[in-house]
Every structure is written in C-alpha cells, then in structure tokens.
Chain A
Amino acid sequence: MHMVAGVLLIVMAVTVLIEVVTRALFGMTDGGLDLTIRGGVEIVSYSLLFMVLFALPYSVSRGQVIVDLFTENMSERLKMLLAGIYTLGFSFLGFAMATRFYESVERVAMTGETTQDLLIPLTYIYAISAFATFMLGLRGLFVAIDEIGKGLKTS
C-alpha cells in the first residue's frame, strides 16, 4: 500500500517540475517550443488524494498526536486499552468513509461525472478511494484487536 503512496509522492513532484520547466521553455522561446502538458494541477491534486489515502492505513497505529498532559499517572494497561479503543475509532472512520465512497461510485456511474481537466470518470476516483479507506478500516480493526489484547494481558 505505501509503495503506491511513495510512487504517487514522486509523481506529484515530477509533474510540478515538468510544468515549471515546460512553462519556462515556452516563455523563453516565445511559444516556439511548446511541450506544456494538460491537467498538471489535476494530476497533482488526485495524486495527493491517493497518496494520503494509501498512507493512512500504514500510519494509523503509530505517531498519532496525543496530548499527554493529564494522564501521567495512568497505568500502562489502561493506556494500552484506550489506545485500542481509539484505533477502533479510526477503523470505524475508515469503514464509514469507504461506505460513503462506495455509494458515490454508484452515483457518479449514473451521472457520468468526470474530472474537470483530464475528464477522468469520477467512478474510478471514488472506487480507489473506497478501497483505500476500506483498508484503513481493516487495518485499524486488526491493530485495535492487537492493542486491546495486549492491554488485557498487561497487569
């Protein structure tokens, strides 16, 4: 999953660079050399979407920002259990988003809606989003079970 995200990160950067360079060439040659591409903004926008969505499942379990101001004396067991419950929350969020994206797939399949510049059917965009957020839900669920299990074992 996060291999895909990594590739998308590079795609984003390269697309922007191509835009900048081709635009400069166009300007310097007074329009003589036109290598400019269509829809660069759109490629970057959707790469960002998928990059983040594909990176979310991989990050759900670690590094979340927690405000640890009031819980210094909390037992490790309780901390672990709470972490499990919150990860379950992320899992719910993932499944809820996936369901909504799945419904959107059906909707745009009817209307034939596309993206603005490249005219990519939105069905694909929503289908991939549904898949990625479903994975967030799934991974959240597994991690949560693991964390709660560990919490119960800790004394």
Chain B
Amino acid sequence: ADVTLRLGHLWPSVAGIHKDLLAKWGEKVEADSEGRISVEIYPSSTLAKPPAQYESVKTGIMDATMTIQGYSANRFPLTQIVELPGLAKNGKHGSCILQGLYDEGLLADEYADTHPLFLMTHGPGLIHTADKAVKVPADLAGLRIRRPTTVVAKLLEDFGAQPVGMPAPASYQSMQRGVIDGVALPWEGALAFRLNELAKHHTEVGGLYTLSFVVAMNKSVYDGLPDDLKKIIDANSGKEWSEKGGAVFDALDVKGRKQAEEAGHEIIEIEGGIDNPDWKPALTGATEAYIKELEDKGLPGQKVYDRALELAQSCR
C-alpha cells in the first residue's frame, strides 16, 4: 500500500460498530483504492484512551478515529446541541441532522484542526437500573447514574439523580458493586458492555437524549494524499456513511432490546416520551438553559438549534 491509515476507537472488536461500520469502511476504502490505501484498525482504545482520541488524531499519534465529541467537554458545544432532548428519533435520524448541520458549515469552527469524514449519533439513550424501577422522574431522586457527557449529566441532575462520569467499559464493575445504581446508555451500549446482565429495569423516555460521534482524519495526512486518493476518501465521507453509521446503531439497539426482553426484564415505556407531563418541564428547562449558555458565550446556539429543528422535520 502507498498509505497506511491507523484508525483507533474505543469499542471491542466484537462490537457492531467495529465489525459492521468501521471495518466495512476500511474494506471499502481499500477496495476503491485497489489496495493503495490500507486501513489498520486499533480497537479497544489500544492506541489512545477515549478522552485523548480526538487530540491524538490531531497530533498524528493515529491517523483517524471514531470518537465521542462530548468526551472533550466544551470543545464541541454546538455539535452537542443534537444531543438535547426531543431532536433525534433514532440513530439514522440523529445522524442525518448532525451531518446536515456539518455540511451546511454551521459546525465547521469546531473541527478546524482535523479533517472530519462523517458524523453520526447513536439511537435513543435510556436509563438502565439494577434494582429500582424508574417510572416517574421522582424515582430517580438520589440514584447514582453513570452518564456519558456533561449535557446528559445536566438532564439527570434536574431529575434529582446524581450523575457519575465514567467510561462505559467501567460501568459493569461499578454497577455490580453497587457504586452506581444505573447507567444512561442506548441499547447498543447495554449490549456492547454487557449491562443487560446487571440492569433488570429499563426506562425508555422517547427522545430523552442522544450522543454525537465523529470519524475524523488527521488533516496533514489527508492534505498529503495524491488527488486520486483524496477523491476516494471524499467518496467515502459525508452523508452516505453518516446514514450507515446511524443505521448500524439502530440495528444494534434492536438487538440489545431483544436481549433484555428475552431475559424477562422490565421495560418501562413512558407514554408520550419527553412530552409526558411528568418529564417535560425539566427537559424543556434543560434545553433552554443549554442554548442560553451558548448564547452567553457568544456562540450561535439558537441559530443552530433552530436549524436542527428544521432538519429534524426534513430528515427521515
């Protein structure tokens, strides 16, 4: 091969995101370039720890990554708008909104130091608890819940839960020891990190939150490619792969939910999702507070949020 791309990510190599998305992407790029580009994938954070992955692409420790923007708190505040309640219906839908915002240049400033290939979100995030079933927000009071990002932490806090930050792979052990009472993850995460072994209750509040992901490449590596190879990378960037990513997350959600159903767990579906009167006030408050915070910093929070709402309408 003329070029070897080292792509690192945080999932185990048996996870759907590795097998059905990133490995497929690598194979496609290798095939399209007739082997002139070779993609070496490093799963399980073996090249850089999750919080350092984006930065490691920038500095060239690895050439590309798929990582979570929220792991670098406040570095991607406009991107994380897509994580707010009520925007994304599922992975495909959320990915369409996020990629749409990016393609329109609304998020460009946040990614100035890498070359993003495509962006996506996972499916609906939900709350998985070990012993206590969460039927109304009051049930969350005092529960220690593992949360993925500060945006989600804020939501949980508004319901009186104690958000605890920890990497997803660590949640199994913490939950087993009773250090946390539950986790906020999509079904895909419950599947990949085996939390259906411990969590017996699952509360689906439709539209509660989602999480954004980016597949990004080192800028100078991209710029240094000959034009024909650049074209191949370009052809494997953007909307099409974003949609595929969202679809992979959605398929894994189905699998994860089925695993819980078969184990006879209690799955609580909140009627009306976030529009349910028990849940709505706090969630609306959280969204407003987040947008205001961005505006106070001089960022176009409202503009991006409004556009995201429009995209939520037009995206399927």
A119 engages B150 (CB within 8 Å): yes
Contact of B75 among A26, A34, A41, A111 (CB under 8 A): A111
Please give me the 10 A-B residue pairs with the lowest Cβ-Cβ distance, nearest first: A31-B142, A113-B75, A114-B74, A111-B75, A116-B73, A116-B165, A114-B73, A113-B74, A112-B74, A113-B72
Q: Is B133 an interface residue (CB 8 A)?
A: no
* SS of B interface (majority): loop
Residues of A within 8 A of B (CB): 23, 26, 30-31, 34, 36, 41-42, 111-117, 119
Q: How far is the CB of A137 from chain B (nearest CB, A)?
A: 20
Give complex CA distance A8, B221 in Å. Answer: 41
Residues of chain B contacted by A113 (CB below 8 angstroms):
72-75
From 113 to 152 in chain B, residues with beta carbon under 8 angstroms from any chain A beta carbon are 141-142, 144, 149-150
How many pairs of residues, A versus B, come closer than 8 Å at their CB atoms? 35
Contact of B74 among A23, A30, A36, A119 (CB under 8 A): A119
Give complex CA distance A128, B72 in Å. Answer: 19
Q: Is B191 an interface residue (CB 8 A)?
A: no
Residues of chain B contacted by A116 (CB below 8 angstroms):
71, 73, 149-150, 165
- Which chain A residue has the least Cβ–Cβ distance from B71? A116
Residues of chain A contacted by B164 (CB below 8 angstroms):
41
- Sample 9 A-B pairs with CB under 8 A, ordered by A number: A26-B142, A112-B74, A112-B75, A112-B297, A113-B75, A116-B73, A117-B150, A117-B153, A119-B74
Residues of chain A contacted by B67 (CB below 8 angstroms):
none
With A112-B75, A113-B73 as contacts: A31 and B162 at CB distance below 8 Å: no
Number of contact residues on B: which range applies?
A: 10 to 19
Residues of B within 8 A of A (CB): 71-75, 141-142, 144, 149-150, 153, 162, 164-166, 297
With A26-B142, A31-B141, A31-B142 as contacts: A115 and B73 at CB distance below 8 Å: yes
Q: How far is the CB of B217 from chain A (nearest CB, A)?
A: 18
- Which chain A residue has the least Cβ–Cβ distance from B165? A116
Residues of chain A contacted by B150 (CB below 8 angstroms):
116-117, 119
Q: Which of B72, B142, B149, B164 has the largest number of chain A CB atoms within 10 A? A: B142
Give complex CA distance A42, B165 in Å. Answer: 9
Give complex CA distance A117, B162 in Å. Answer: 12
With A111-B75, A112-B74, A112-B75 as contacts: A117 and B165 at CB distance below 8 Å: yes
Residues of chain A contacted by B75 (CB below 8 angstroms):
111-113
Residues of chain A contacted by B297 (CB below 8 angstroms):
112
Give complex CA distance A114, B293 in Å. Answer: 14
A41 engages B72 (CB within 8 Å): no
